[in-house]
Amino acid sequence: MPCDSSHMEPSSWEMEMTKVVLLLDEVNGKGTPDPDKFNEGYDRRVYCTDMSKEVADRFVRRLCTRLKKLDRLVDGLNGYSFELRMWWRDHQRMDRVRESRLARTAKERDEKRAALAKLTKKERKLLNV
């Protein structure tokens, strides 16, 4: 199989994490991200670093924490880039979806426990639970 340059293209992971680090720069006062760099995925903190999910989650949590604080201010996110405001809107929506799913799972788990608690020892043995 012949060699090619496909490995040199940033992955979707690198592209998304580049957005996160550039938005972190913005909220930390380092200026608005260059729109051309925003979707490239070549930020040196991300591209070809084999960033783990744990490290990526730390970056996202850091950005989320900063945005929650900014969002509470009188001006909120006014004055920040369109990209930042859209990222925050999407992030909040996904947080609500995840929290809803977790609440539903916890409720189902509690209901299952309650139902199993009503069974006798013999009934649980018959059901292999």
Tens digits of per-residue pLDDT, 33-78? 887 787 787 788 888 888 888 999 999 999 999 999 998 887 889 8
The CB-side HSE value for 45 (13 A sphere, CA atoms) comes to 13
Q: How many CB atoms lie within 10 A of CB 44?
A: 9
pLDDT, residue 2, reads 75
pLDDT, residue 26, reads 94
The answer to whether 41 touches 15, Cβ cutoff 8 Å, is yes
pLDDT(93) > 90: yes
The answer to whether 60 touches 41, Cβ cutoff 8 Å, is no
pTM of the model: 0.75
The answer to whether 27 touches 75, Cβ cutoff 8 Å, is no
Q: Which residue has the higher pLDDT, 7 or 56?
A: 56
Tokens describing residue 16: 């998304």
